[in-house]
Structures are given as C-alpha cells and as structure tokens.
A and B are shown apart, each in its own frame.
Chain A
Amino acid sequence: MSIVLSNITKRFGGDLVLDDVSDEIPSGSLTALLGPSGSGKSTLLRIIAGLESHEGGRVLLHGRDVTEVPARHRQIGFCFQDYAPFNQMTVFDNVAYGLKVRRVPSAQRRREVDELLGLVHLGDFAERYPRHLSGGQRQRMALARALAIKPDVLLLDEPFAALDAQVGAELRVWVKSLQHELGITTILVTHNQSEAMEVADRLVILNQGRIEQVGAPEQVYDKPASDFVHGFLGPLTTWQGTPYRPHDLQLCDEGRGLAARVLDVIRLGFEVRVVVQRGDETTWVQLTHHEARQFDPTIGSVVSLCPR
C-alpha cells in the first residue's frame, strides 16, 4: 500500500504552508516526517488523512486518487498527539467504534476488539474509562482503535511527544516492532530527530513547507543534502572554520593536534562535553566518559584537539 503525494500545496491565509511537496512512500515502510515546528509536517499528515483541505496537488493511496475522497472513506488509521480518547465511552467501546460504524455483527465485534486489546496489552482494561488510563495506555488504546478498521495506512501525529521520556522510549520500541509485525504502511510526524532515526526506516525532512531530503536515517545523517539537514539532525560545531559534529572531534596527544584552552567541562553521565577556545573560535567536543578520563580536561587547562 504505497502513498503517492504529488505537488501538494497548502496555504493558510497568505502563508504558504506546503510548497509543491511530492513523495512516494513505499508500501510497508515506516516513514517519519521530520521537521521543526512550522515546517508543515502535521499539515501534510492531515492532508493525507483528508482532515485538511489543500489548494493544489493529489494524494494517491495504492494507486487510487483520494484527493476528493472525504476522510471517512479513506480507510486510514489516525492517532492524534493527545490520543483524542472518547471520554464518555469505555476502552472497549472506543476500540469498537469503527466496527460499529461498519455494522460488524456484535459477536464478531467483541472477538476483534478483544484481540486488539490483547495486542496492545489492554485486555484487563476493557471496561475502564479513558480517564482511568495512564498516558501510555491511552496511546495504546488510540492505536487499537485506529487499527480496528484494518486501515490501509496508519498515520501518527507526534505519538510520543506527550509522554514521559521513559514511557515514550518504551513505546517507540514497541510501536516499531508492532509496525514490523503488521507490515502496515505507517507515517509518523515528529520534531525529534533521534526519535525519527530510532523508529523510522525512512526519513522525509521538511523545512518551511518544502522537502529538504528523503532517505534512510543513516544515509541522511551521513550525507546531509543541505546545511539545514546537517544542522537539524544533530548538533554542529565549527573547528578551524569547518562544521563538525562534536563527536567527530577528539582530544589527542600534544603535538598531534592544535592547542586550545578549556572553557567548560559538562558531564552528562556517559557523555562529557568539553568546550574549548582557540583564538576567536569556540568549539565543543563530545567525548565518552572513558575518553574524558584519559585526558582529564580541567577548566583553564590547555588541550590538543584533532578531528577523528
């Protein structure tokens, strides 16, 4: 089930939110729409779902042009960042909603919902109300509700942004394996580059309504197509006027590199950041705990710096 976007253009008032966006999302892939806020990524997702109008371009789901098809007939599973639980319904009724709309007989409905609740580990919560669930559980309920209609495509809008860091990390691993298991074409919107690289097998990087780069995470990371992508995918620093990733620089033995003065040492558990100055240039270097111990940089001391 591939998704083809051709020349999507969207305006809000006078602002161009999406500027001639085209992409083909391969069947079964987990694609992340990655970009800063205001890049148009959520709008693009809503356009694919049919929840937002657009001025130009077409959306094709598996070869079928759905541009004029309303959201309710697109057979799409959509999860909002706030999970949008139906608060007045039990977890069971939430998940059963789409099946009820489709007039699935009640015995079959019960069987399918029970199966889905088992899949998302909410089997014991069927008769609870969403207000009794934790954020992660609500998220899983929303996923089960979206999956109940056996959608051709699953669209997730910032699915982990509202969760605690730890719960979010667990859910990321779980969602990735679930997607792999079901093989459902999935698009996920996020502003978090490490989340995107962890979960997705394909990144679409958006900036100011345009696609900056498309590719596998490591490919995009290693060969950024623009300064924007380079800067957005990870921290950048400059050394001798050249942009570097801080982990691509290291401290080295005296005489091998260039001397610089240590301005600050920040210890973040495993990671140690050393901020140094040489002439007018301030640079920071990312070291492992182990490497830092080897050179033992202290504030005010002079170290030797070289690219890895």
Chain B
Amino acid sequence: MKRRTWVVRTAVLGYVGALIALPLFFVLQRMFAHGFATLVSALENHEMDTALWLTIRVALVAVPLNVAFGVGVSLWIVRHPSVTSRVLDTLIDVPLAVSPIVIGLSLELAYAQDGWLGRPFAAWGLHLMFNYWSIVMASIYVSIPLVSRQVIPLLREVGTHQEQTAQTLGAGRVRIFFTVTMRSLTWATAYGVTLTLARVIGEYGAVLIVSGNIAFVTETLTLNISNNFENFTPYQGFVGAGLLAFSSIFVLLVLGLARHRERLRHEYRS
C-alpha cells in the first residue's frame, strides 16, 4: 500500500515536472547563461523595455476594467436571473472556447477602419486597430471570464441574507457593497485578478493580429520575445521570456497564498 502511494506520487510529480517545471527551468537557465553583466545590458535593451512598458500599460487598464466588469456582471447574473443574464452567462465563456487567433481576427474584421464597427469611429477620426487601444481590447476579450468564473459560485454560496441583515441594520447600498458583499468576495476576486493579470501579460495570439507588431509602438513583451527569435537575437528573447516566467512565478505564489487562505476559511467553517 505504502509502496503504491510512493509510485503514484513519483509518477505524478515526474509527469508534471517533465511537462511544466523542467522546461520552465531551462528558460531561466538560458537567461543567466552568459553572466550577470550580459544579463544587465540585455535588461537595458531599449526595445524590450519599451515593449515591457507597453505590456504594463495595457495591464493597468485591462485588469481593473475586467475586475469591475467581472464583479458587476457576476452580481447581475446571480442576483437578477433573467433570460438576458443567462445569455450573458454563456457569452462570457466564449473567450475560453475560442482560439486567441480567431479572437484577434474577429476583432480586426469588426474594428478596422473599413470594419462594420470601426467605420463610424473612423468617420470621427478615431482608429481602433493596430494601436494601444486594440491591444487593450484584445486583452480584455481574452480574459473577460476569469474574474466572474471565480466570483459567481461564491456569490451563489454566500446568498443574500448577510446583505439583507445589513439593510435592516440601516446600511445603504454602497456601504453594504463594500463592507459586506466585497468582504465575502475578497479572496475569490484576488484569485480572479491574478488569473486575469497572468493572461493579459502573457497573451500572444490575439495581440499579434490586432497590434500590427510595430517595434517601439505596438510591440508587447510577448511579441518582442518572438521578434527576437525571428531576428536571430535569441538571447534577448530568452531574457524577455525569463521576465515573463518570473512574473508567472510571482502570480503563482500569490495564487497559492489566496488558495491557502480560502482553504483555511472553509476548514474553519465546518
């Protein structure tokens, strides 16, 4: 019995390690392969830094918007069930099922200057494709379900009695939202935020299509990594990839913490 447990454990760890941990380790190894001084000069690469800064600027807009939308839409779906909210519930899942490249292409078709939705904006001199805003749009699209998928089940579980109690105690809507509703949803939302952040920073396919991939202008960090490999500067690419990997590890640590807190909460309750 003991022996079997040990075998299963090794097999699972080996599988996950060979598939995920080890390859990731090799990327980080490449990053540090040429010594500290080379790494520092690669980190100071102007094009990569510009791309990194663009990625950060995209995340700074896309993540808060998606969190606000995710929490709001979850409240609507759970608290005001209707045909419309059920349709929305299904629509929100589309980005999980559709390939990012299809997402990018569909956005381009719709919002390009001659696109059905882009034309009225173009008439006002507003161009929605191949710039910062198209990257934000694609990032929002691909990560739209990540907050609400965490929040909806918890919201169902928590119910409305706490909020109604707060109501009878004299609290208004805004106070109830911040002191009761959001306090129940804190960790689920935090979990959703980290998932959204990871997805926005790491998105490649959809952004490749809608950005135009112009160096120093619409080149995000993921695009920069890929461009470096195509332009025969692989070390620079590995440094960019290493940065992304580190950000993922950071996100994973935060996720682990959030999960740990959630588990504690559940254990105490029963």
Residues of A within 8 A of B (CB): 49-51, 70-74, 76-78, 80, 82, 84-89, 97-98, 101-102, 129, 131-132, 142, 145-146, 148-149
Contact = CB atoms under 8 A, between A and B. Distances in A.
B169 A82 contact: no
Contacts of A102: 170
B169 A149 contact: yes
A132 B264 CA distance: 12
B269 interface: yes
Band of interface residues on B: 20 to 34
B222 to A, nearest CB: 37
Contacts of B248: none
B84 interface: no
Contacts of B175: 101
Contacts of A51: 164, 167-168
Contact of B161 (A70, A73, A82): A82
A86 B268 contact: no
- The 6 closest A-B CB pairs, nearest first, are A84-B161, A98-B169, A131-B268, A88-B183, A78-B168, A101-B170
Nearest to A80: B161
Interface string B62-96: 00000000000000000000000000000000000
Contacts, number: 70
A77 B168 contact: yes
Nearest to A74: B168
A146 B168 contact: yes
The listed residue with most B CB atoms (<10 A of its CB), out of A72, A74, A77, A142, is A72
Contacts of A84: 159, 161-162, 164-165
Interface string B112-155: 00000000000000000000000000000000000000000000
A50 B162 CA distance: 15
A260 B6 CA distance: 71
A88 B164 CA distance: 16
B227 interface: no
Interface of B: 159, 161-162, 164-172, 175, 179-180, 183-184, 186, 265, 268-269
A142 B165 CA distance: 9
B161 A49 contact: no
A129 B268 contact: yes
A98 B171 CA distance: 7
A76 B168 contact: yes
Nearest to B270: A131
Contacts of A71: 164, 167-168
A80 B167 CA distance: 13
B64 to A, nearest CB: 23
B179 to A, nearest CB: 8
B170 A78 contact: no
A141 to B, nearest CB: 11
Contacts of A98: 169-170
B154 to A, nearest CB: 12
A280 B194 CA distance: 73
A97 B161 contact: no
Contacts of A82: 159, 161
Nearest to B183: A88
A217 B24 CA distance: 74
22 contacts: A49-B168, A51-B164, A72-B168, A72-B169, A72-B170, A72-B172, A73-B170, A78-B164, A80-B164, A82-B161, A84-B164, A84-B165, A85-B162, A86-B180, A87-B162, A89-B183, A101-B169, A101-B170, A101-B175, A131-B269, A142-B165, A148-B169
